[in-house]
């Protein structure tokens, strides 16, 4: 296993560009970059430039991972670049992206099912609660689309790995992989997103382990705010995610997996308030939308929240409002670098203590 960072969210990504971002990441002690999509590296799929990016990673002994885009046909209209790269044909666009990835030997490719609507709060931010089309209909459409892509993936030796994104459960992802086929699909395990679906991260890790092929490593505060729970990203080790239990599960399933930190993005040189994200865990409509969530897992989840609350009450960690107030004024370049380094140090320490197969330069 190697520890790297998100190629889109590493601070000053636009300034450095994909090639020099590897040097930038290495200066932070990172061992690779995970670009969310190949279009993040080259919007035109310039094969010469993509090879240059690959060469820089190889020269520095770093890993490079990337992806494709949203594969839910009800969400792809929000990503017109996916069809434009195929001259208006989205299947051709995906084929071209997949071929470009294979040409630089990137064969584990991120995909996801929807976009989080940051301008909204609660159910309105998630496509699983749309009323014009049910979530089950969206999943069925996603399976159909992935099955159209599967022969291309099979020919190129590619896995399309669905992220445990904010809107989808690990239960649903496992069913999608099994419906499409594990020879062409897998899972990107985001260690914190599952919290937004009321899932305990350790329980989720056990569910997705047979299919996990990529990761987003991140942590989060989960704390009561009246009848709802607040979700707020925190450096690894300062949230509710128990990496000491999760990392051995991942390592046992795929010892050579890369651990890619997804950091809280820098606020650059302007103040802004971090978005408020909530989990309506006691709302009947929210609960109805999570038929796989058992009472046993919900109880374990709430116990995790209660244990974390004691860390806040003791003064060990700031509450949501205090952290948000500080971040809105102070979270810039240096603080983002510290966030990444602190998260990596926490993960590295656990791997070393547990003697997990960590490749460290």
Sheet containing 219-225, strands listed edge to edge, beginning at the edge strand earlier in sequence:
219-225, 228-234, 277-279
Q: With respect to residue 110, please indicate whether it lies within any of the assigned structural domains.
A: yes
Three-class SS of residue 353? helix
Q: With respect to residue 361, please indicate whether it lies within any of the assigned structural domains.
A: no
Three-class SS of residue 219? strand
Q: With respect to residue 78, please indicate whether it lies within any of the assigned structural domains.
A: yes
Q: With respect to residue 214, please indicate whether it lies within any of the assigned structural domains.
A: yes
CATH code of residue 148:
3.20.20.150
Q: With respect to residue 360, please indicate whether it lies within any of the assigned structural domains.
A: no
Q: Per-residue pLDDT for the chain (361 aa), expressed as one digit of tens each?
A: 999 999 999 999 999 999 999 999 999 999 999 999 999 999 999 999 999 999 999 999 999 999 999 999 999 999 999 999 999 999 999 999 999 999 999 999 999 999 999 889 999 999 999 999 999 999 999 999 999 999 999 999 999 999 999 999 999 999 999 999 999 999 999 999 999 999 999 999 999 999 999 999 999 999 999 999 999 999 999 999 999 999 999 999 999 999 999 998 876 645 556 678 999 999 999 999 999 999 999 999 999 999 999 999 999 999 999 999 998 888 999 999 999 999 999 999 999 999 998 876 5
Q: What angle do CA 342, 348, 350 make, to 5 degrees?
A: 105
Q: With respect to residue 335, please indicate whether it lies within any of the assigned structural domains.
A: yes
| Domain count across the chain | 1
Strand-strand pairing, 219-225 and 228-234: antiparallel
Q: With respect to residue 13, please indicate whether it lies within any of the assigned structural domains.
A: yes
Measured distance between the N- and C-terminal CA atoms of the chain, rounded to whole angstroms: 11
Report whether 190 contacts 205 (CB < 8 A). Answer: no
Domain span at residue 140? 2-353
Q: With respect to residue 254, please indicate whether it lies within any of the assigned structural domains.
A: yes
């Amino acid at each position: 296993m190697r520890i790297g960072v998100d190629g889109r969210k590493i601070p000053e990504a636009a300034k450095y560009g994909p090639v020099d971002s590897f040097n930038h990441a290495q200066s932070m002690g990172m061992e690779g970059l995970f670009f969310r999509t190949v279009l993040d590296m080259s919007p035109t799929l310039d094969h010469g430039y993509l090879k240059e990016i690959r060469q820089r990673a190889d020269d520095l002994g770093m890993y490079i991972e990337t992806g494709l885009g949203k594969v839910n046909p009800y969400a792809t209209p929000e990503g017109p670049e996916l069809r434009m790269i195929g001259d208006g044909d989205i299947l051709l666009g995906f084929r071209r992206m997949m071929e470009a990835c294979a040409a630089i030997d990137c064969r584990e490719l991120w995909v996801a099912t929807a976009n989080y609507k940051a301008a909204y709060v609660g159910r309105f931010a998630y496509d699983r609660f749309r009323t014009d089309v049910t979530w089950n209909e969206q999943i069925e459409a996603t399976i159909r689309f992935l099955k159209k892509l599967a022969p291309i993936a099979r020919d190129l030796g590619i896995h399309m790995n669905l992220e445990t994104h904010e809107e989808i459960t690990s239960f649903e992802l496992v069913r999608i992989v099994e419906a499409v086929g594990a020879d062409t699909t897998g899972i990107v395990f985001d260690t914190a997103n599952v919290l937004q679906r009321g899932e305990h991260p350790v329980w989720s890790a056990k569910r997705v382990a047979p299919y996990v092929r990529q990761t987003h490593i991140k942590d989060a505060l989960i704390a009561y705010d009246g009848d709802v729970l607040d979700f707020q990203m925190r450096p690894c080790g300062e949230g509710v995610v128990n990496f000491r239990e999760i990392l051995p599960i991942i390592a046992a399933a795929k010892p050579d997996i890369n651990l890619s930190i997804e950091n809280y993005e820098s606020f650059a040189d302007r103040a802004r308030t971090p978005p408020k994200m909530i989990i309506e865990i006691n709302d009947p409509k929210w609960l109805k939308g999570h038929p796989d969530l058992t009472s046993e897992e919900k109880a374990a989840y709430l116990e995790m929240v209660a244990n974390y609350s004691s860390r806040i009450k003791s003064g060990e960690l700031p509450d949501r409002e205090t952290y948000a107030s500080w971040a809105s004024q102070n979270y810039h370049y240096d603080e983002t670098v510290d966030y990444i380094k602190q998260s990596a140090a926490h993960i590295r320490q656990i791997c070393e203590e547990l003697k997990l197969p960590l490749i460290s330069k």
